[in-house]
A and B are shown apart, each in its own frame.
Chain A
Amino acid sequence: MKFIRHFSFRRWRGLAGAGLAGLLLGAAACRREAEAPAPEHFPAPTPYALVQPPLFPAIPAPPADNPLTVEGVELGRHLFYEKALSLDNSTSCGSCHQQARAFTDGRARAQGVGGALHARSAMALQNLVWEPKLTWDGASPSLEQQARTPIENAVEMHQPLRAGVARLQQMAPYPPLFGKAFGTSTITEENALKALAQFERTLISSNSRYDRYRRGDRSLLSADEVRGLQLFSIHPNGTLRGGNCSDCHGGELQTDHNFRNNGLDAAFADLGLSSQTGRPTDNGKFRVPSLRNVALTAPYMHDGRLATLQDVLDHYNEHVAFNSPTIDPLLLNTTNDPLQQRHDLELTAQEKTQIIAFLRTLTDSTFILDPRFSAPR
C-alpha cells in the first residue's frame, strides 16, 4: 500500500513536471510556428556485403527498400535475441531458433509463450536469402513479412509488434541502435521487421565438409560418404541404383524450393500448401526443405514426427503412403527393383547407412559457432 502510494506520488510529480515542460515547449513551438523537431544526425549506415559462396546460386539482391547495412544487421541480431518482443519477456526468436542446432529447437513441435504448442516444427534458419517462399506452407514471400508472424502468433511470442516496439523505445540500447541503422531513433514496426530480415539474410551456411569436398578437396569424404552422395542423387532405373533424393532435394542447397507431398500421410491433419492456395490438389504438400545441417535439426518433417535420420530413410524406403491423394509422382515411380515393377524404394540397409553418412557431411560447424550469429553480450 505504502509503496503504491509512494509510487503514484512520484508518478504524479513526474507527470506534472512533464506537463509543465510540455507547456513551455508548446509555447516555444507556437512562437516559432510549425517548425519540425530538431532533425537527428546519424551518419549514413555502412553497406554490408554478403560473400557469394563458391558454386552456390548467385545471391539474389535484397529488396530495394531494405539494403543490408552493418548497423541494420547488428540491430537485427539484437532483436532476434530480444525477449521483450514476447508477451512475458520469456521468448525470443532465438528460443526456438538456436544456433547450435542450426537455428532449430530440438522439439517435434515448437513451444511458445506459456508452453503453448505450435502445430509445426521450427525450421532451420539458413541460406534464407535464396528461399522465395517461407515456412512449411509458403505463407510468406519475404523475410520482412514473415518476421511479424512469430512475434504476434499466440503460440509463439504472443504480443502485438506495436506493443513490442513501444517497449523497445523505452530500453536504453535500442533508440540509438535504430538511429544508426535507419537514421531515426523513433522505433517503428517496419524498421524492426527490416532489421530482423537483414540479420536473417546473413545466415549463410556454406562451409560443411561436403562444400569443401565440392570445391576440390577430394580427400574430405570417405568412400561410404561418396557412395551415399551418389545414391542421394541418382534416380534408379533398374540398372543404376539410387535413392533419388535430389530430384527434390537437388542442387547445392538440396532443395528445388518446391512444395510436394512426400508420402507421410494418406489423410492430412495439416493441409500444408493448400491452406494458402485453397486448392485441394495442394493438400498435404509442404516445402522441400534444404538438408544442410540436417544432422543437427532432428526431429524431422513439418510436425517433427520422425526422430532420427534412420527413421527418415526408413520412411522413404518402406513407409511411404502410396495411397496419399496428392503424393508426388516421383515417389510412386522410384524403385531399385531391377524389373522396375515394385513400389518401394528397395534400398539395402547398407545403402541407407551410406546416405545417412553423406547427410552428416552437410554439418557446418563454422556456421553454428560463428560469433556474428550468436546472442549479443
Chain B
Amino acid sequence: MNTSRFAAVAAALVLATALVTACKKDSDPSTPQTGVFALELEPGVGALPLNLSTDTYTTAAGDRFTVSAFKYFLSNIKLTKADGSAYAVPDSYFLVDQAKPDSQHLDLKDVPVGDYTGLTFTVGVDSARTKAGNFTGALAADPGMFWDWSQEFKNVVLEGTSPQSPSRGLVFHIAGFKGANGANNTIRTVSPAFPANTKLLIRPDHSPEIHLHVDVLGLFGGPNPVRFATVYNTMGGPQSVKVADNIAAGMFSVEHIHAN
C-alpha cells in the first residue's frame, strides 16, 4: 500500500468516526426533536352543520341560501411561541373541499417540539408561489380552482342559490391578487387565537389536534355585510376584496385543542 492510499484510508476512517459521533449527537435529547400535529377543519353555517345542496341557511341579514360547493386553499401554516419566535411549516399547501371529507383533516409533520401559543395561515395561495408556477399536489388537484387566463388561483369558492339573488344563483369566486398596487388582492392571512390558557404542545410522543371552526357565514358578515339582492356574483375584483376582508375577520376560529 503506497502512502497516498494509506492517507486516503486514514481520512476515510476519520470521516467515518466523525459521522458516527454526529449520529450519536443526533439522538442526544438536548438537540431539537420533532413531533406532529393536525388541523381539523370543522365547517358549519353559524351553529349548523354544512350540508351541501340539501339544507337552506339564513344569513345574519336574513337572506336565505343553499351551498352546492365550498372549497378553499389553506397554506403557509406557521406556529408561533410566546417569545415571538416562529416555525413555518415548509411547503404547506392544502385544498379543503367540502365535497371531500378527507380534505378536512390536515396532517403536519416534522415540527420542532415546543410550546406554541399561536397559529397563522394564509387563506388562499400566496402570490409568490402562484407566480412560480409548476404546480403539483394540492395546487394541481382541482383545475376548477385556477384561472388559466389570468394565472391566478381562486382562493375561496362558494357556489349555491338564494331566492334573494336576482338570478337565483350565488357564485363567489374570491380569486386573484393582481390589479394596480394589489388593489384586487383577495389573499388573506389570519391568526385565529387559541382559547385562553391553551397551548399547542408539540412532543415526539404526542399528536395534538387544533380544531378550527370554519364558518360559511364569515363570508357574508363582518366589515362588509353581503346582501344577495346586490352581491350574488363575484369573481375577483373590488367586490371579492370586500368578501376577502370578511373572510379575514371571521371565517376561522379555534374551537379547541386536543393535547392527545
Taking Cβ atoms with an 8 Å cutoff, the residues of A that contact B are 57-58, 230, 233-235, 237, 242, 246-248, 250-253, 255-256, 258, 279, 281-282, 322, 326, 328-334, 340-341, 343
Contact = CB atoms under 8 A, between A and B. Distances in A.
B148 A329 contact: no
Given A230-B149, A281-B53, A329-B169, A247 B144 contact: yes
A329 B160 contact: yes
Interface residues of B, number: 29
A255 B138 CA distance: 17
Nearest to A288: B144
B148 A250 contact: yes
A328 B232 CA distance: 14
A234 B149 contact: yes
25 contacts: A58-B140, A233-B149, A235-B147, A237-B235, A237-B237, A246-B143, A247-B144, A250-B143, A252-B143, A253-B143, A256-B143, A256-B144, A258-B144, A279-B54, A282-B53, A326-B53, A329-B68, A329-B169, A329-B170, A330-B169, A332-B161, A332-B171, A333-B167, A333-B170, A340-B233
B57 interface: no
A256 B168 CA distance: 23
B169 A332 contact: yes
A208 B52 CA distance: 37
A329 B143 contact: no
Contacts of B68: 328-329
A329 B161 contact: yes
B168 A246 contact: no
B143 A251 contact: yes
A259 to B, nearest CB: 10
B3 to A, nearest CB: 50
B102 interface: no
Main secondary structure of the interface of A (DSSP, over half): loop
Contacts of B43: none
Interface in B147-206: 147-149, 159-161, 165-171, 173
Contact of A235 (B159, B165, B235): B235
Contacts of B143: 246, 250-253, 255-256
Contacts of A340: 233
Interface of B: 52-54, 68, 136, 140, 142-144, 146-149, 159-161, 165-171, 173, 232-233, 235-237
A48 to B, nearest CB: 24
A237 B147 CA distance: 14
A329 B237 contact: no
A333 B69 CA distance: 15
B172 to A, nearest CB: 10
Contacts of B237: 237
Contact of A333 (B144, B148, B233, B236): B233
B54 A333 contact: no
A57 B54 contact: no
Given A251-B143, A328-B68, 16 more contacts: A58-B136, A230-B149, A235-B235, A242-B149, A251-B148, A253-B143, A279-B53, A281-B52, A281-B54, A329-B169, A329-B170, A329-B171, A330-B171, A332-B167, A333-B171, A341-B166
A59 to B, nearest CB: 13
A256 B142 contact: yes
A95 B136 CA distance: 38
A329 B159 contact: yes
A57 B140 contact: yes
B236 A237 contact: yes
A329 B140 CA distance: 24
Nearest to B136: A58
A230 B148 CA distance: 9
Contacts of A237: 235-237
B148 A233 contact: yes
A329 B68 CA distance: 8
Contacts of B140: 57-58
4 tightest A-B CB contacts, nearest first: A251-B143, A332-B169, A250-B143, A329-B169
B170 A248 contact: no
Contacts of A230: 149
Nearest to A237: B235
Contacts of A343: 167
A332 B168 contact: yes
B144 A235 contact: no
B146 A250 contact: yes
A329 B65 CA distance: 12
A267 B236 CA distance: 34
A281 B160 CA distance: 12
A258 B157 CA distance: 15
Nearest to A249: B143
A334 B233 CA distance: 8
A340 B167 CA distance: 10
Contacts of B168: 322, 332
B162 to A, nearest CB: 9
Tell which of B140, B143, B232, B237 has the most Cβ of chain A within 10 Å: B143
Contacts of A57: 140
Nearest to A231: B149
A246 B236 contact: no
Contacts of A248: 144
Contacts of A256: 142-144
A252 B146 CA distance: 12
Contacts of A281: 52-54
B10 to A, nearest CB: 46
Contacts of B166: 341
